[in-house]
Amino acid sequence: MSNDFAQFQAAFFEEAAEHLAVVEEGLLELEQHPEDLDLLNKIFRSAHSIKGTSGMFGFNAVAQFTHKMETLLDLLRNGQKAVSPPIADLLLKSTDCLKTLIESVKTGAPVDDAAVQRLTSELASASAAGAPQPPASELTTAIDPAQSGDLTKTYVITWTPPNWLFQRGLDPLQTMKELRGLGELTKVTLDVSRLPHLTDIDPEQCYLAWELQLRTEKDSKIVEAVFEFVREDSQLSIQQVSAKEADKGVQSQSVSTATPMPTSEMDGPKPIGQILVEGGVVSSSALDHALAQQKRVGEILVEQKAVTPQQLEQALQKQRQQESGAHAKKADTASIRVDTAKIDKLINLVGELVITQSMLSDLGARFEMSQLHVLLERVAQLERNTREIQERVMSIRMLPIGTAFSRFPRLVRDLAAKAGKKIQLVMTGEETELDKTVIESIGDPLTHLIRNSADHGLELPEERLDNNKPEMGTIKLNAFHEGGSICITVEDDGRGLNRDKILAKAIRQGLISENDKLSDEQIWSLIFKPGFSTAEKVTDVSGRGVGMDVVKRNIEGLGGTVSIKTTLGKGATFTLKLPLTLAIIEGMTVRVGRETYIVPLLSILESIQPKEGSVKTVVGKGELINVRGTYLPMARLYEVFALEPEHKLATKAILLILETEGERVAVMVDEILGQQQVVIKSMEQNFRKVEGIAGATILGDGTVGFILDVRGLIEIARQETAMAA
């Protein structure tokens, strides 16, 4: 497979995913607004685009299955069938099946043929029960049986496709195959009048046009729909003619003879040379002579004795290996669609950067001390340009969080049906932008939270009515910016968390003792413990105690936090606080001796300078610092990394109070240097894992600064405590 064709296929899979999202979202909305014809047409267009382009690439299973869906959708939009819950269910299941089929042609994954066949039969059955037919007596009166053959229409289609047809990997003969599926193609006339001189032909341009004659019982709108995905820049005319006109033949400006299209000719496109010969543009002998002159560069070099045949074969083998490797690499490469406005702004900024660099170079060539102020101005301008470019480049990776939210309406609908509940999902803030990597990582945590709200949080309709609540429960999903972070809330108006129930279960599992006095926040955090669940029975949705554990682990792995607010009987709100990007963090730069470290700003609660007597050494617990009546473990950073500090007395140093996963630690440093954004570089990829270090960055003076791992520092403090015991 050529790299160009692989690129076309990759574009097809990307566009197919977008069309599938439109179909699924549209069907979910159609359930609420079954009379919305515009919505039905939008769903139909997306399904038709998938069918057409998949047929162009030869993905026949995808095209055939989508055709069955399209038939039912066409009945719905023409008013021959009404949108009902069973039909919506069938179309949603068919959308899932279509996703599986597309994934199969993309990755080669196996498909459950029996399930596909079953859904195909269901679609056919649903489509067969179309609009009610008039009684036989009325039909007899309206149509003379002797003239029943007049029901077949004859269309003359003239189609001049756009020049870019071949550039997008599209095959016009696939369009003719689809037309043949509607009836009988009695004539296919090739028009080569647009062909330039042989020497001027661009192999990536389409110079051909066709005139076709189609006999079918289908309406003209269905015939037009075949060309829907190539209508852009096409010249298309579809005219219905009488049988007498069809028999005479419609006058054509084609230079080739009109002939029926045999099945064998539909199997693939003809070589351009054969088309030129058939069109009378060149003679067969001229074509043979031209083909005989075609040689590869390698063959010419062998003839000139510049290389040996063995060297040529080795080079060709190496080329094949490189092409194979490049294709494999390309297949694994993720892509992202970027708004052209963002690209335009970035290009403008790069232009400004080039101008600034040119000005600095010019100044450097003739610099004098009297021009120092000019130098400082231009360096400041360079700094502004660099910062803006950094922000613009980061914005390219930013996507609306709505791409992660889009899966949840379907999830909530299915959960409600399975649990016998009535649930509405309200989503806000879908336009809030977040780094693509973060968006890809929050899908599972959000899924677990929504499943938890639907299964545990919201009550059954009769229970809600007994509690003077609306029969339909509500789950609200919201995203918004807060400072340098993004917050995502999952809120429900259900039962809320039961403090006593959680405490009793935690005591039974040995997570806490009966004498422990815990705050509400500490009690709520117990639901994130592995294996913890208050569900009275295990279902296929929840109850095994693994979901909330996944939520906390994944979110904290992204450098974020999870918090809970709840009121018994009124509902619960889970708030996820995440960094906008994983590539850059806001950090506080600190110094220990001569070394510089960066502490993630999200982890810092406060900084203090302890008073005399506030640091205690307790047997079995190591060093503790008294912070307003609460004793926290203390880690001396110079001891952790074996450094020579400026201050060894805690009262002369500075303590940073850090928090992660609900645990706190006091870290002793010599000095706080300031706040700055830093680009994270992986330690494990470039060196090896170091305890207490999350990554590294390059500082302004060119030296390496280490980014502290707060979780790792807590573990180190815990180990020192164990050793002290």
- Specify whether 612 is located in the same domain as 698: yes
End-to-end CA distance of the chain: 66
pLDDT the model gives residue 110:
85
Q: Which has the closest alpha carbon to 226: 29, 378, 55?
A: 55
The CA radius of gyration of the chain, in Å to the nearest whole number, is 35
The answer to whether 445 touches 550, Cβ cutoff 8 Å, is: yes
pLDDT the model gives residue 235:
82
Rounded CA separation 38/593 (Å): 69
Q: 582: pLDDT confidence band, cut at 50, 70 and 90?
A: low
pLDDT beyond 70 at 583:
no
pLDDT beyond 90 at 132:
no
User: Is 135 a member of any domain?
Assistant: no
Q: 514: pLDDT confidence band, cut at 50, 70 and 90?
A: confident
User: Is 386 a member of any domain?
Assistant: yes
**The token pair that represents 529 in the structure block:** 């413990």
- Specify whether 384 is located in the same domain as 432: no
Q: Dihedrals φ, ψ of 86, to 5°?
A: -60, -40
Rounded CA separation 351/392 (Å): 14
The CATH number of whichever domain residue 618 belongs to comes to 2.40.50.180
Q: 147: pLDDT confidence band, cut at 50, 70 and 90?
A: very low
- Specify whether 425 is located in the same domain as 557: yes
- Specify whether 263 is located in the same domain as 304: no
Which residue's structure tokens are 């229409």? 153
pLDDT beyond 60 at 305:
yes
Cβ within 8 Å of residue 10, ≥6 positions away: 330, 331, 335
DSSP 366: T
pLDDT the model gives residue 515:
80
Percent of the chain with pLDDT over 90: 12
Rounded CA separation 20/43 (Å): 9
Number of Cα atoms under 13 Å in the Cβ half of residue 5: 7
Rounded CA separation 703/687 (Å): 16
Q: 250: pLDDT confidence band, cut at 50, 70 and 90?
A: very low
Mean pLDDT of 59-78: 86
Final residue before a domain boundary, out of 96, 129, 162? 129
Q: Which residue has the higher pLDDT, 164 or 155?
A: 155
User: Is 51 a member of any domain?
Assistant: yes
- Specify whether 384 is located in the same domain as 448: no
Q: Dihedrals φ, ψ of 78, to 5°?
A: -90, 0
User: What region does 305 belong to: left with phi over 0, alpha with psi -120 to 50, or beta?
Assistant: left
pLDDT beyond 50 at 313:
yes
Which residue's structure tokens are 């047997």? 619
Final residue before a domain boundary, out of 526, 552, 579? 579
Cβ within 8 Å of residue 136, ≥6 positions away: none
pLDDT beyond 80 at 429:
yes
Q: Which helix (DSSP H) or strand (DSSP E) does residue 158 occupy?
A: strand 153-160
Q: 300: pLDDT confidence band, cut at 50, 70 and 90?
A: low
**Positive or negative: CA dihedral 474, 415, 442, 603:** positive
Rounded CA separation 372/370 (Å): 6
- Specify whether 428 is located in the same domain as 307: no
- Specify whether 573 is located in the same domain as 599: no
Q: Which residue has the higher pLDDT, 335 or 708?
A: 708
User: Is 145 a member of any domain?
Assistant: no
pLDDT beyond 90 at 293:
no
Q: 561: pLDDT confidence band, cut at 50, 70 and 90?
A: confident
Rounded CA separation 354/104 (Å): 47
Identify the weakest region by mean pLDDT among 148-152, 204-208, 299-303, 627-631.
Answer: 148-152
pLDDT the model gives residue 332:
44
- Specify whether 302 is located in the same domain as 441: no
Residue type, 178: E
Strand partners, 435: 398
Q: 476: pLDDT confidence band, cut at 50, 70 and 90?
A: very high
Question: Whole domain around residue 384: which residue ranges?
Answer: 340-396
Q: Which residue has the higher pLDDT, 107 or 277?
A: 107
Strands 423-428 and 473-482 turn out to be parallel
What is the total count of domains within the chain? 6
The answer to whether 627 touches 657, Cβ cutoff 8 Å, is: yes
- The 3 state secondary structure assigned to 551-571 is HHHHHHHCCCEEEEEEECCCE
Q: 138: pLDDT confidence band, cut at 50, 70 and 90?
A: very low
The answer to whether 352 touches 385, Cβ cutoff 8 Å, is: yes
Q: 265: pLDDT confidence band, cut at 50, 70 and 90?
A: very low
The CATH number of whichever domain residue 181 belongs to comes to 3.30.70
Q: Which residue has the higher pLDDT, 392 or 243?
A: 392
Helices (DSSP H) in 366-400: which residue ranges?
372-396
pLDDT the model gives residue 721:
58
- Specify whether 383 is located in the same domain as 406: no
Final residue before a domain boundary, out of 129, 161, 195? 129
pLDDT beyond 60 at 698:
yes
Please, what's the largest Cα pairwise distance for the chain?
112
User: Is 680 a member of any domain?
Assistant: yes
| Three-state SS at 23 | helix
Burial zone of 461 (CB within 10 Å; 0-12 exposed, 13-18 middle, 19+ buried): middle
pLDDT beyond 90 at 207:
no
Cβ within 8 Å of residue 555, ≥6 positions away: 442, 445, 561, 562, 576, 578
Q: Which residue has the higher pLDDT, 689 or 533?
A: 689
Q: C-alpha angle with apex 174: 169 to 179, nearest 5 degrees?
A: 145
CA distances 76 to 19, 27, 72, 91, 413, Å, are 19, 12, 6, 11, 22
User: Is 563 a member of any domain?
Assistant: yes
pLDDT the model gives residue 473:
94
| Three-state SS at 11 | helix
User: Is 194 a member of any domain?
Assistant: yes
The answer to whether 423 touches 469, Cβ cutoff 8 Å, is: no
- Specify whether 536 is located in the same domain as 603: no
Most confident of 298-312, 329-343, 696-710: 696-710
pLDDT beyond 90 at 534:
no
CA distances 411 to 203, 416, 423, 504, 535, Å, are 48, 9, 11, 32, 20
Rounded CA separation 114/126 (Å): 18
- Specify whether 278 is located in the same domain as 301: no
User: Is 474 a member of any domain?
Assistant: yes
Q: 720: pLDDT confidence band, cut at 50, 70 and 90?
A: low
State pLDDT tens for residues 270-282.
555 666 556 665 5
- Specify whether 435 is located in the same domain as 352: no
Mean pLDDT of 550-573: 86
The CATH number of whichever domain residue 106 belongs to comes to 1.20.120.160
Rounded CA separation 275/264 (Å): 16
The DSSP result for 506-546, as a single string, is HHHTTSS-TT----HHHHHGGGGSTT----SS--SSS-SS-
Cβ within 8 Å of residue 82, ≥6 positions away: 34, 76
Q: Which residue has the higher pLDDT, 340 or 609?
A: 609
The answer to whether 713 touches 663, Cβ cutoff 8 Å, is: no
pLDDT beyond 60 at 252:
no
Rounded CA separation 502/524 (Å): 8
| Per-chain mean pLDDT for the chain | 78
CA distances 440 to 134, 298, 329, 331, Å, are 54, 47, 21, 19
Q: Which residue has the higher pLDDT, 499 or 226?
A: 499
Q: Which residue has the higher pLDDT, 676 or 292?
A: 676
